[in-house]
Structure 1
Amino acid sequence: MNQFKAIILAGILINVLPACSKNENVSEPQVYHLEVPEHFPPPAADTENPVTSGGVALGRELFFDTRLSANNNISCASCHLQSKAFSDGVALTSAGASGTSLLRHTPALFNLAWADHGFFWDGGSSNLESQAFGPLTAHDEMGQDLIQLVTELNAVPMYVQSFKTVFNEEIKPQNIVKALAQFEKTLISGSSKYDQYKLRKPGANLSSLELKGMELVRTKCQGCHAGELFTDYSYHNNGIDIDFSNTDHEGIYQGRYRISYDLSDLGSFKTPSLRNLLLTAPYMHDGRFATLQNVIDNYSENIRHSPTLDPLLPKTGMKLTKEEKEAIIAFLATLTDYTFVGNPLLSKH
């Protein structure tokens, strides 16, 4: 996918978003209050695209609508399945309009209201709105022409009325992605077994093995998988590769470096959350590890040292015992949020 072109286009369109928000004729929208778990930090502030009830409802309709793709067969939900915490269970999907396998793994979508350090595995987009233009227009993903998309949506009276109600404007690409972003911010996951234990809910307990795993995660993993969100939303070289000289496909294997041009970012990719890992296999930016056991084994014994290896990682690996690995995996299982993946408010209506 020509992600650079998508990002340039997104930048042009997103730059007009503030102007859209200054329309004096816009009626006061109904504010949507995100259901933030009490032990979570406040979400990132967003004054340019505040979440409204109408915007969330419109974004949900768009998220599940196959009109967003060139062949009218693919929706956002085609590769972001609620049952898999809005991931797809495939290492490198070929479900896009071209049928060509992508070069990166489809990320899970949840707790995006806290993500304020960029999107995509390399941070190539600065916000949810501009990020949406990437898959919408990429040839190997949804492959949609934005002008054609506006035409198709204008043929649906419900959309014409909804965009007018939510944005007090006709259907425009920038408002399509604004609505999608508002819905995506409601994808909040914080009701796992661990969360119930953390909040001292009646009957919520962790086993001795799970507690041991929790302590191991805190001491060995939370340098990157930080806080209650279990991610710092930043970028790290986690030691799975040592050669980043391949510049094919716009340097997509170089990680954050292809965006920052900072040599210290070679091989650095965005930290995924540890939440819902039982539902989001396979793992890493290219889906190379099929199981959590593969991931833990790699961090334990197979760290590959390169000049940009994150200093938080021991060069020789974590050297975990079999019992420690079992404990970590047991604790990670407690981060599975079955309430989230079964929430009807996040499903197609």
Structure 2
Amino acid sequence: MKWQKAVFFILLTIALVGCNKGEIDPEPQAYTLPVPDHFPEPVFDTQNPMTRVGIDLGRMLFYDVRLSANNKVSCASCHAQSLAFSDGVALSKAGVAGTALKRHSPALINMAWANNGLFWDGGSTNLESQVFGPLTAHDEMAQNLFELMDELNAVPEYVTRFRAAFDGEISSQNIAKAMAQFQRTLISADSRYDKFKLNKSGGTMSPVELKGLELVKQKCQGCHSGELFTDNDYHNNGLDADFSNTDHEGVFLGRYRISYDLDDLGKFRTPTLRNVALTAPYMHDGRLGSLEEVVEHYSSGIKNSGTLDPRLPAGGLKLNSEKKAAIVSFLKTLTDQTFIVDPKFKKP
């Protein structure tokens, strides 16, 4: 019997070593989203329960260029972790077509709380449906979904991982589910501001930054509300006074493009202020290149129109230079250095 025990422990050791090297766990362990203490509970019901194997599969897909028609573009091509999953350019040309997109690539931050539509105009209802937009768009990944199934089925590891995650075959629906699961893990809540809020070590803020915090509460949190620093809603923030649609896709019309409600003309989704110092340029078309330009817009550049958010006075907030500098100083405390280097989010 001693030899049997020896063999057992040898096999157990091999199994444990294999797991440490990233072997696929045969059980799709349920995953509980780690909600930060000062965050609200996320609300989403997409019939897509999160599992560790599903998240790992989603991360593989996020970084895989096979998802594009020319096998050169991945999701990470426009969503780099080092930039809080943004791309650092106004209108990306990283897509298959090599032409500039019509809108700025949004940062992917705290997506588990994005429960009121995605894209700048709310054109998708959840992360699962959102996946198909960039995946099939001619100027983004331009992928044929049937060809993608063939490509992924030719990779034994993918066949095994899809079976482990969903107890089924590779399908476009399961691709979307896996990628949505991974994106919901992209939680950012460890900035210097967060440490200050939770009275943690490293949470010291200067008088100027504290003044900026108070100004943001007074002037900005009507839309950039709560600890998420977004209300996940749609607002006209005075960038334009004319929303004439000169593009056949209607991308300049804002939320109206989806709702066909005239009250939604020029309204775009409120982005989070978290990691905002990393995600320049700003606005739905990337027209503002720096935080200083953004603050100046709200101070003196507001353009009046029938759908302008009522919290914004026509002509702007009229901030003096001291207040503008304080706001910028505070916004920089929202940078989460852990988030942009976290190995859980890196290319596997």
TM-score higher than 0.5: yes
Q: CA deviation at 1:203?
A: 4.4
Name the amino acid aligned to 1:226: S
Q: Which of these two proteins has the greater Rg computed from alpha carbons?
A: 2
Task: Give the Å deviation of 1:316.
Answer: 2.3
Q: Does the 8 Å CA contact 2:192/2:202 hold for their aligned counterparts?
A: no
Contact 1:247-1:254 within 8 A present in 2 as well: no
Q: Aligned partners of 2:109, 2:294: CA distance in 1, in Å? A: 21
Tell me the distance in 2 between the aligned counterparts of 1:33 and 1:188: 13
Say yes or no: does 1:286 pair with 2:280: no
Task: Check 1:123–1:203 CA distance in 2 against 1; reply closer, same or farther (3 A cut).
Answer: closer
Q: Classify the secondary structure of the residue corresponding to 1:315.
A: coil
1:103-126 Cα offsets, whole Å, 9 max, x none, are 000000010100110000000000
Aligned position for 1:295: 294
> What does residue 93 of structure 2 align with?
94
> Aligned partners of 2:40, 2:27: CA distance in 1, in Å?
27
The separation in 2 between residues aligned to 1:340 and 1:346, in whole angstroms, is 8
- Please report how far the alpha carbon of residue 63 of structure 1 lies from its aligned counterpart in structure 2 after TM superposition: 0.3
SS in 2 for 1:124: coil
Indicate the residue corresponding to 1:3 in structure 2.
Answer: none
Match of 1:322 in 2: 321
AA at the equivalent of 1:36: V
Distance in structure 1 (CA, Å) of the matches to 2:107 and 2:227: 17
Preserved CA contact (<8 Å) 2:67 2:135: yes
User: Once the 2 structures are TM-superposed, how far is the Cα of residue 250 of structure 1 from its aligned partner?
Assistant: 1.8
| TM-score normalized with structure 1 length | 0.91
RMSD after superposition: 1.1
Identity of aligned residues (%): 64
User: Which residue in 1 is equivalent to 2:76?
Assistant: 77
Deviates more, 1:284-293 or 1:195-204: 195-204
Report what 2:166 is aligned to.
167
Q: Which residue of 1 aligns with 2:113?
A: 114
Q: Per the alignment, do residues 46 and 173 of structure 1 end up closer, same or farther by CA in structure 2, a change over 3 Å counting?
A: same
2:194 is the counterpart of 1:206: no
The answer to whether the Cα contact below 8 Å between 1:93 and 1:106 also exists between their aligned partners in 2 is yes
- What is the deviation of 1:86? 0.2
Q: After the TM superposition, which segments of 4 or more aligned residues of structure 1 sit over 6 Å from their partners?
A: none
Q: What whole-Å deviation, never above 9, does each CA across 1:63-120 have from its counterpart, x for those lacking one?
A: 0000000000000011100000000001001110001100000000010100110000
Instruction: Report if the CA contact (8 A) 2:27-2:164 is conserved.
Output: no
In structure 2, C-alpha distance between the alignment counterparts of 1:140 and 1:320, rounded to whole Å: 40
Q: Deviations over 1:165-197 (max 9, x none)?
A: 111111000000100000000000000000000
| Structure 2 counterparts to residues 1-349 of structure 1, below 5 A | 29-349=28-348
Q: Kindly provide the amino acid, as one letter, of the partner of residue 293 in structure 1.
A: E
CA deviation profile, 1:260-309 (whole Å, cap 9, x unmatched): 00000000000000110111000000000011111100100010000000
Question: Displacement of 1:204 after TM fit?
Answer: 1.9
Whole-Å Cα distance in 2 between the matches of residues 337 and 50 of structure 1? 27
Task: Find the aligned partners of 1:330 and 1:300 in 2 and give their Cα distance.
Answer: 16
Read off the aligned partner of 2:159 and give its amino acid letter: V
Q: TM-score, normalised to structure 2's length?
A: 0.91
Helix, strand or coil at the partner of 2:248? helix
SS at structure 1 position matched to 2:179: helix
Whole-Å Cα distance in 2 between the matches of residues 280 and 69 of structure 1?
24
Alignment deviations for residues 13-54 of structure 1 (CA, whole Å, 9 cap, x no partner)? xxxxxxxxxxxxxx9741112222110000113251111111
Q: Does the Cα contact within 8 Å between 1:121 and 1:269 map onto a contact in 2?
A: yes
Measured in 2, the distance between the counterparts of 1:158 and 1:215 equals: 51
* Superposition deviation, residue 253 in structure 1: 0.3
Q: How many residues end up aligned between the 2 structures?
A: 323
Q: Deviations over 1:220-239 (max 9, x none)?
A: 00000000000001100000
| CA distance in structure 2 between the aligned counterparts of 1:203 and 1:76, rounded to whole angstroms | 33
